[in-house]
Structure formats: structure tokens, C-alpha cells
Amino acid sequence: MTRVLVTNDDGISAPGLHVLARAARDAGLDVTIAAPAVQSSGSSASIMAEDHDGRIAVERRRLAGLADVPAFAVHGGPGLIAMIAARGAFGNPADVVLSGINHGANVGRAILHSGTVGAALTGGLNGAWAMAISLDVGMRPDAFHWDVAAGAALQLLPGLLRSPRSTVINVNAPNSAENLGVRQATLAPFGIVQTTLTERDEHHIRLAVEDLPHTPDPGTDAAYLAEGWVTVTGLDPVSHVRLPFLDG
């Protein structure tokens, strides 16, 4: 049976995490949940944690509707969780890391900062197949169609498992009961929101998140998602580029 780690960056109590874990369990997968004890959005692949005498605090949790699934609240971010899971922190290492369902889209090159994506990349770096899953809820959603994102993840999982180990994909679903289907997409140059500086004085900085004013480039994840498609983008966990100025 395929072993799956379900994690996120919104925290152990997030509804998207619970929906994803239930969908994976109901599909016959061997699921373990390990997620941050508190909100960890924007943590990227950080391995920082609350340190108690050199140890990371982990609490066993019993989640509603998931009493049969081992669940752990970890006092650290999702990147750390994916790393320690690969080293046996929650039992045998998982074959697959499912990270999400994130409250909000993760598109464009701004996914660099996403804890949801950071966990998937860390899982891939440590030999697992991995998928980051996000729901494009916008700024003021009237409803949350978590099941749409979970369904897309389970639909894509067989293809992911036919890919080489360490393959990582980033999936975004529109927050709608219906969608146009699945499209493979490139990363947009930016995300769909931007962080702005709203206050600065001698002792404080305040940031705010706002919608970007531009129309996304055609063929990108941001553009397809705005049209109503589920978007899928393959990610390379760690790569390098050649530096021509050092060529002999």
C-alpha cells in the first residue's frame, strides 16, 4: 500500500488538510498526517523549529473524521516536517508527500516563498513523489470547494506515481464546484498577489497582501487558473545553472 504523508503550512487544524487526508484515506492510501502546530504560511522550505533542549516538540492529535489516521502537530514548519518524516520521525518514510490543501493559490515564481510548496520540494529532495495542492479562494470567498482540489489531487496521483521518484508537481484548483479540466502550465513571472509595505517607523514594519493589477501571461498557471482550469506545473527541487563568466 502506498504510504502518504499529508502536511500543510496552514496548520494542523486547517480544513483543507482534513479534506485532503480524508480523500487520500478513502482512496485506500496509507495516510499519516504531520502538520505545523500553528500557522506557518510563507515559511518556504525552512527547517527552523521551536527548540526544547535540542528537541522538536511533537504532539499526537485526534482529528474529527480522521480518528483512524495517525496525526501529529509539530512545532516547526512544513519543510522541516517533510525532512524529518523522510528520516522516520512518524514511522516508515512516506512514498508520497501531499502538501495542502492551501488556503489560497500558489502560482508563479512567488511559490519560492510558499510553505506548501516548500514541503513538497523537500519531500522530492528526499526521494518521495510530491504534490503541493492549493485552492484559489481569492480575498473574500463565499464558499470553500476543498473537495474540488482534493479530487484533482487524487486524479493526478496515478500519473505522478508513474513518473520518476522525486518528481514534484504544483497543483492549483479554482474555488468552484466546476472546472474546465486540467492544464499543464508554466510558472507566471509573479504570483497573483503582491506584498506591499504599508507602515514603517523606527521600530515597526507592517506588510499587506494585495491583488496584482496586471493580466497574467497566456499559458501560465496564473492565466489558466483565472480561466477556470486546474493547473499543474512540474517543479525541479534543486537545480543549477552554468556561469559563462567562469568558462575557460
Judge whether 233 lies within some domain.
yes
Distance CA 206, CA 118 (A): 24
Q: 171 and 231 in contact (C-beta within 8 Å)?
A: yes
CATH number at residue 16: 3.40.1210.10
pLDDT in tens, the chain (248 residues): 899 999 999 999 999 999 999 999 999 999 999 999 988 777 777 777 666 677 888 999 999 999 999 999 999 999 999 999 999 999 999 999 999 999 999 999 989 989 999 999 999 999 999 999 999 998 788 899 999 999 999 999 999 999 999 999 999 999 999 899 999 999 998 766 566 666 677 767 776 655 555 678 899 999 999 999 999 999 998 888 888 989 87
Count structural domains, the chain: 1
State the pLDDT at residue 209.
Answer: 59
247 assigned to some structural domain: no
Q: Is residue 202 part of a domain?
A: no
In a domain, 204, yes or no: no
Residue 150 one-letter amino acid: A
Within a domain: 145: yes
Q: Residue 204: its pLDDT value, please?
A: 72
| pLDDT for the residue numbered 195 | 61
Tell me, yes or no, whether 103 lies in a domain: yes
What's the domain range around 83?
3-189+216-237
DSSP characters over the chain: --EEEEE-SS-TT-HHHHHHHHHHHHTT-EEEEEEESS--TT-TT---B-EETTEE-EEEE--TT-TTS-EEEESB-HHHHHHHHHTTBTBSPPSEEEEEEEES---SGGGGG-HHHHHHHHHHHTT-EEEEEEEE--SS-S---HHHHHHHHHHHHHHHHHSPTT-EEEEEEESSS----EEE-BPPSS-SEEEEEEEE-SS-EEEEEEE-SSPPPTTBHHHHHHHT-EEEEEE-SS-----GGG--
- Residue 144 CA to residue 166 CA, distance in Å, equals 30
Give the amino acid at 57. A
Under a CB-based contact definition with an 8 Å cutoff, are residues 45 and 121 in contact? yes
As a whole number of angstroms, the distance between CA 136 and CA 13 comes to 19
How high is the pLDDT of residue 95?
A: 98
- Asked if the structure places residue 200 within a domain, the reply is no
Residues in the chain: 248
Predicted local confidence at residue 141, as pLDDT: 83
- Residue 144 belongs to some domain of the structure: yes
